[in-house]
Amino acid sequence: MSLSKKISSGFCYVSEDVFNLVKNTQGEYFKKIQGLSPVEFAMDTLNPIRATESAKILKRYTPIKKMKVLEIGSGCGVTHVSWTKLFDINGFAVEPEGEGFSNSALVARKLLKENGLNPNKIINARGEELPFDDNMFDIVYSSNVLEHVSNPKKVITEAIRVVKKNGIVQIVCPNYLSYFDGHYGAFHPPIFSNKFFCWWMKNIYKKNPDFAKTIRTEINPIWSLKQIKALPNARLLGLGENIFFERMISGDVSELNGLKNLSSIVNIIKKIKLDKTLARFIIMIKGWTPLIISIKKV
């Protein structure tokens, strides 16, 4: 069985062409950064399990079925395809073209077309400047995007603008007061400046810090609360601390995205019965990961 067939599902078909495109471009780019082989990277990035896991969390706050959904950052289109097939969403996604290493918009359109969906639902746009009217969507969702944008505050503001009243915005991103970075697959102390993050990756992990320079390391629970409090029509529902606590005591940490080492450590902590105590302590010092910023528009 080919690797593309191995990760394909009844709700998201991944062709050999798409698999090889991701492996030979993004996989090669991240080889030295993340420590995964290009094949492992492609299997992680294109695995529809990612979409089902994210849907379970989102459904705590809102139904998904038949909702009008905007995804900020389509990535390779796996979430868009999976949610359309599983929940019959009226989905749109934005993904900028011609920026950085990414050919994600191209991949996403190919994936949509191969799954019988409209590739024009992937729109060339940035999260800071959404090409939509106010109050258009029931749900605005984003995962692993906010830390890469030029203006994270503007992205949140735009997400609130385009979602309907009583709609939900959910943004999943790293917490740089935490201890693990999924991009590099690296453990780190709380990050208080991008310069320190770059120094850490260069001197401790001996990795090229160029990619680290692009990451918005100011994103953490304190920063998130400040941004949301400044928005008069936004009510914070949570920052993911409850999800983190549940995962710590269950040992249910995804092994996708270079998280295998983290998953092993969580299970060791569980075996020595320090899971609840350590989870509460980490939450107290605002070090849980990831941030799952869930907002209701009021």
Nearest to 190 by CA among 209, 202, 177: 177
Where do the domains of the chain lie? 3-297
- 3-297 maps to CATH 3.40.50.150: yes
The Cα–Cα gap between 162 and 198 comes to: 35
Q: Give the pLDDT of the chain (298 residues) as one tens digit per residue.
A: 789 999 999 999 999 999 999 999 999 998 888 888 999 999 999 999 999 999 999 999 999 999 999 999 999 999 999 999 999 999 999 999 865 556 899 999 999 999 999 999 999 999 999 999 999 999 999 999 999 999 999 999 999 999 999 999 999 999 999 998 988 888 999 999 999 999 999 999 999 999 999 999 999 999 999 999 999 999 999 999 999 888 877 766 554 444 455 555 555 555 555 567 788 888 999 999 999 999 999 9
The Cα–Cα gap between 201 and 210 comes to: 10
The Cα–Cα gap between 251 and 29 comes to: 31
Torsion of CA 125, 257, 15, 89, to 10 degrees: -50
Is the preceding omega at residue 232 within 30 degrees of 0, hence cis? no
